[in-house]
Structure 1
Amino acid sequence: MSSYPPSGPPQTTLRQRLADLRGPAVPPRPLDARALAALAANPGCGRRALLDGAGVDKTALASALGSPAAFGQSQFAMIRGNSFEAKVKGDGGAELLRLVHEHLGAGAEPPGRGARVPDLTAAGPEGRAARTALALREATAAGRDEGAWTLLDHPMLALEVAGTPAYLEPDAVVVHPDGRWTVVEIKSFPMIDGAADAAKVGAAARQAAVYVLALEKTADLLPQARVGHTALLVCPRDFSNLPTAAALDVRKQRSVTRRQLERLTRVEELAAALPAGLSFDVARPAEELTEAVAAVDAVYAPECLASCELAFHCRSAARAADTVTALGRSVRGELGALTTVGEALAAARGEGAGDDPTAAALYRAARLRAEALEIAAADPYEVPEAVECPC
């Protein structure tokens, strides 16, 4: 039973409520495209939606809970990545624009060395997002009137997620002379013989899809602009530090991400359901933090281990509760109304199956497996007779 007071004052604003959840004087941790892609992959997890919406540092929270997760790049990888990005964008972005023209600039004149690179500095993320929107508007007009190419280096884009604004910073956005906007992802993993690691390319495509969604919000205000659904992935060629590129069609990832983000419960609804006084401030004792985290429903799956800092804590809780979600989403979907491992094992033993077709199928499958094992134990070389599949 929770030790917190039952409710908070109704006049408390959402901004103040989220600040209280983070803890006094704790700045919000901004959402990035990687976090949004992971959030969209598990839209039913209210815990992640609330913590990300409130700007809670999940890495610090996981450590305070005693379940730290090793996330992020090594210092060496970060230095190598920054060095490679600087090389790609050097000389006014000439090499980067050449790659964009080579892979996605059919029908346009080469950018040459006269491409526009506007200054995007401004105060705060809101100011930078407004400055980026203005630069995109000016670049689109310059492309139409002058045939100019424009490179936006680390623009700031705004996207509403679960009722709260998220500010995203892609590596680059290129505005073509025809008014098309292209997202550029610069990664330090190599592209060997024209191909890169499939898992890393997939992650880059999901991040690019988030940027495309954010760009579309800005493009809605400009009838001449259009957002390209093909992003450009720039990586080192083979084992060198020379850049090469490949086009990424992100239409599928964009559609999936948009649908999943729309399914997210709004942050104010999640926050309103919590008792007053609840906080995820890592300065609090571990027992209080454990109780606070448990107050928000989570949907754990093994896939979370690759994308969420709290995955190890949630896995321990799922195993303690004996839930089938710990076995994976596919298993959870196949078991239907059987929500715990104990229920599934009982159904396989024929206990309390009733009229549940899933329980009956489990019982039949368990009998067939037992018969097959008995035959194999009696004569390993005997081939059992064909049996009807219980599926």
Structure 2
Amino acid sequence: MAALRGPGTDPRPMDARALAALAANPGCRRRALLDAAGVDKGAVAETLGAPARFGQSRFAFSRGHAFEARVKRDDCAELLRLLGVRGPGLDGTEVEGEPAGDVAVEVPELGAPGPEGRVLRTRLALAEATPGVWTLLDHPLLALDVAGSTAYLEPDAVAIAPDGRWTVVEIKSFPILDGGADAMKVGAAARQAAVYVLALDAIEAGRGRTDVLLVCPKDFSNLPTAEWVDVRKQLAVTRRQLARLTRIEEIAAALPAGTTFDLGYSPDGRTVTRPVAELSAAVESVPAAYAPECLSTCELAFHCRDRSRAEGRVDALGRGLRGDLGELTTVEAVLSAASGLTGDPADPAVSSLRRAAALRSEALSEAAKQGTPA
């Protein structure tokens, strides 16, 4: 992996967002390999002349950090309230039926040298949580095996309830307006949280809850509010898709000898010295599975789209159409099959294309007879 990203280049960690995107497109060997090797795909795409046009602005990044700090201030009192923990030490009022006195909460120290050390400290904290007491793990580090490569994942928080159940907490800066949030953003957060639940299941199956706490600002204020989000569907899909991934060593073994994605920075670290043609050849040596959905999740998506269009592949038209066309993988092959020049008439895709071509021809003839513009 170090040789693939280049000597002396620090690996770019694979986070839950990247892992969720990979699970949504398990057939893309290019993304799987580059993510496993820790290659900076954004820098590669910029060098190839197709930089990604998405990402979080500095303002949004700062706002997110400020909101998370508010949620966790005062020994995480606000977060405990959102988790449903009640007591005079949290909301300043006595609750009928609840015992008086402060709620006992433990926040263990998770610092350790290196990711392996942090993962071990997290595992120890999960195992040593005191029964009958709330325990909060602030930015724990989890490890998950992905096609033979280890991904390190850092949720915002994991709460351990007095009954021993583990709850993933996701803190996002997008608002919950009138009791509801943007469906696409909630869906993305759910897929990301499902990855964390999967990593917790790898430690001890059944301890992690399948509903996660999504914490967001309320309306247009900075006041935290929360929703419980059921991620059972996302968890099942992620588990199934990750199991379908080709193992990283198999993908790497199929590469030409000497393949590397090293950008060859100058000594001052500011200039890329690797010829673009060489880097492009290295990237193209790994099969990709481009789909329009990649444009919002992968830094190399614009490069892959340009190549797909240049080769006349149907991938650029969407996964649904690509699946319907079966073995017809190029626009040229589709047009040839539709015109009857190639293709097996027994193939459902070919039969449908020829039927569509006949209907189109009939419609154009009728329009010509009536003098209607086509």
TM-score by length of 1: 0.86
In 1, distance between residues paired with 2:280 and 2:338?
Answer: 34
By how many angstroms is 1:165 displaced? 0.8
In 2, distance between residues paired with 1:273 and 1:109?
Answer: 63
Does residue 151 in structure 1 map to residue 139 in structure 2? no
Return the match for 1:341 from 328, 331, 334: 331
In 2, distance between residues paired with 1:264 and 1:374?
Answer: 49
Q: For 1:227, what is the secondary structure of its paired residue?
A: coil
- The two structures, once aligned, show a CA RMSD in angstroms of 1.9
In structure 1, the partner of 2:155 is 170
Does residue 194 in structure 1 map to residue 173 in structure 2? no
Q: For 2:74, what is the secondary structure of its paired residue?
A: helix
In 1, distance between residues paired with 2:341 and 2:351?
Answer: 10
In structure 2, the partner of 1:39 is 22
Return the match for 1:55 from 11, 21, 38: 38
Does residue 265 in structure 1 map to residue 255 in structure 2? no
Structure 2 counterparts to residues 226-237 of structure 1, below 5 A? 226-237=207-218
Residue identity matched to 1:94: A
Contact 1:92 1:113 in 2 (8 A): no
Does residue 91 in structure 1 map to residue 81 in structure 2? no
1:27/1:378 Cα in 2 relative to 1: closer, same or farther (>3 Å)?
Answer: same
Percent identity among equivalent residues?
65
1:112/1:35 Cα in 2 relative to 1: closer, same or farther (>3 Å)?
Answer: farther
Does residue 245 in structure 1 map to residue 226 in structure 2? yes
1:169/1:274 Cα in 2 relative to 1: closer, same or farther (>3 Å)?
Answer: same
1:366/1:88 Cα in 2 relative to 1: closer, same or farther (>3 Å)?
Answer: same
In 2, distance between residues paired with 1:216 and 1:341?
Answer: 44
Q: For 2:110, what is the secondary structure of its paired residue?
A: coil
Structure 2 counterparts to residues 106-185 of structure 1, below 5 A? 112-139=102-129, 142-143=130-131, 147-185=132-170
Which sits farther off after the overlay, 367-376 or 123-132?
367-376
Q: For 2:168, what is the secondary structure of its paired residue?
A: strand
Return the match for 1:367 from 328, 349, 358: 358
Residue identity matched to 1:362: L
In 2, distance between residues paired with 1:213 and 1:36?
Answer: 11
Aligned residue pairs, count: 351
Q: For 1:226, what is the secondary structure of its paired residue?
A: coil
In 2, distance between residues paired with 1:113 and 1:60?
Answer: 48
TM-score by length of 2: 0.90
Return the match for 2:191 from 199, 203, 206: 206
By how many angstroms is 1:369 displaced? 2.4
Structure 1: unaligned runs, 5 residues or longer: 1-17, 382-391
In 1, distance between residues paired with 2:325 and 2:203?
Answer: 43
Return the match for 1:280 from 249, 256, 261: 261
Structure 2 counterparts to residues 69-108 of structure 1, below 5 A? 69-101=52-84
In 2, distance between residues paired with 1:167 and 1:112?
Answer: 35
In 1, distance between residues paired with 2:160 and 2:53?
Answer: 37
In structure 2, the partner of 1:331 is 321
Structure 2: unaligned runs, 5 residues or longer: 87-96, 265-273
Residue identity matched to 2:7: P
In 2, distance between residues paired with 1:259 and 1:132?
Answer: 26
Residue identity matched to 1:244: T
Q: For 2:298, what is the secondary structure of its paired residue?
A: coil
In 2, distance between residues paired with 1:31 and 1:148?
Answer: 33
Which sits farther off after the overlay, 327-336 or 112-121?
112-121
By how many angstroms is 1:112 displaced? 4.9
In 1, distance between residues paired with 2:75 and 2:54?
Answer: 33
Residue identity matched to 2:258: G
Residue identity matched to 1:241: N
In 2, distance between residues paired with 1:135 and 1:71?
Answer: 36
Q: For 1:337, what is the secondary structure of its paired residue?
A: coil
In 2, distance between residues paired with 1:177 and 1:109?
Answer: 15
Q: For 1:101, what is the secondary structure of its paired residue?
A: coil
